[in-house]
Amino acid sequence: MRRRGFVLGALGLLVTAGLWEAWARERDSVLTPPFSEIVSRAWNVWPTAEFLDAVGASMARLAAGYAIGAAAAVAIGLAMGASPGARRTLAPATEFLRALPVIVVVPIAIVALGIGNAMRIGVIAFGVFFPVLLATIDGVRALAPELRDTARLLDTGRVTRSVRVYLPAALPSIFAGLRTSLSIGLVLVVISEAGGEGTGIGGFINTQRDALGFREMYAALLFLGLLGFLLNRLFLVVERRALAWHYGAVGEPVRG
């Protein structure tokens, strides 16, 4: 079954690439080079020091923003999920902020944090925060009432109960939010790098666009797609290992 899924996925990518190739050659525009030319240019662009430096800068920002946003979301989500009072107090503010489009947050972040790494990491953390927050709250609130009552009977503080009872029970839901936030974070890396100092993959794409290097620009976009795919696969491996106990309990095999 897994091999069949892989073959179908690869076939879908090949069909998409073929359609792009035919459409681009029919259109015959410098703005939309054929897919074969993009791949050919990618092999020349990807190994360059300029591009590798851009990738390194973007990945460092993604790692920092993802870690900050996810950690804050889990901590606040545990409190909101376990305490109705905390949920009533914090829900209006979180719902208001969650409704703000990231494109609106970027200029606010520039004013507050400048145009350097702090702004970019802040934008990524903002986007990562809310899917993980909602997943954490839902995971805690889905806890069986019997388990919740038993946890309250234990002679422990709220922090201890959250870490030892609520967090493990909510982990499957939290991991679902973390996976969603990973792709969001990658998108926000490029958005946050679109202005300012011009470093990172987003800066590389803007530079090539302004210089009319559309093949190089599409090569960078192709790299982003492959990077997102690889990060997702890596995340699934980590998830399967971390939640082996959960998949065993529900009767699903642990696969990497």
pLDDT level of residue 20 (50, 70, 90 thresholds) = confident
Number of H helices, E strands in the chain: 12, 0
Identify the structural domains of the chain with CATH numbers, from first to last.
Answer: 33-245 (1.10.3720.10)
pLDDT of residue 254: 46
Task: Give Cβ neighbours of residue 32 (< 8 Å, ≥ 6 apart).
Answer: 23, 24, 214
pLDDT of 252 above 70: no
pLDDT of 169 above 50: yes
Q: Which H/E stretch holds residue 140?
A: helix 117-141
pLDDT of residue 6: 63
For range 136-146, the mean pLDDT: 85
pLDDT level of residue 193 (50, 70, 90 thresholds) = confident
Taking the C-alpha atoms of 51, 52, 58 and 59 in order, what is their torsion angle to the nearest 10 degrees? 150
pLDDT of residue 107: 86
Which of 40-44, 65-69, 85-89, 137-141 is modeled with the greatest confidence? 65-69
Out of 95-99, 197-201, 228-232, least confident range? 197-201
Which one is predicted more confidently, 14 or 91?
Answer: 91
pLDDT of 38 above 80: yes
pLDDT of residue 2: 61
The CA distance from 120 to 191, in Å, is 9
Question: Could you tell me the two tokens for 154?
Answer: 């234990």
For range 1-25, the mean pLDDT: 74
pLDDT of 66 above 80: yes
Distances (CA, A) of 239 to 38, 73, 109, 245, 249: 34, 18, 32, 11, 15
pLDDT level of residue 62 (50, 70, 90 thresholds) = very high
Q: Which of 124, 223, 116, 236 is nearest to 179 (CA)?
A: 236
The CA distance from 173 to 189, in Å, is 25
- Per DSSP, 195 falls in state S
Q: Which of 172, 226, 181, 163 is nearest to 73 (CA)?
A: 181
Question: What values do phi and psi take at 30, rounded to 5?
Answer: -65, -20
Out of 5-14, 180-189, 195-204, 236-245, least confident range? 5-14
Contact present, 38 and 222 (Cβ < 8 Å): yes
Please state whether the predicted TM-score (pTM) of the whole model is above 0.95. no
The CA distance from 4 to 102, in Å, is 38
Out of 190-194, 219-223, 226-230, least confident range? 190-194
pLDDT of residue 1: 56
For range 142-168, the mean pLDDT: 75
pLDDT of residue 14: 81
pLDDT of residue 69: 96
Question: Could you tell me the two tokens for 15?
Answer: 């069909």
The CA distance from 61 to 117, in Å, is 7
CA angle 50, 54, 59 (to 5 degrees): 150
- Work out the number of other CB atoms within 10 angstroms of the CB of residue 248: 11
For range 92-113, the mean pLDDT: 88
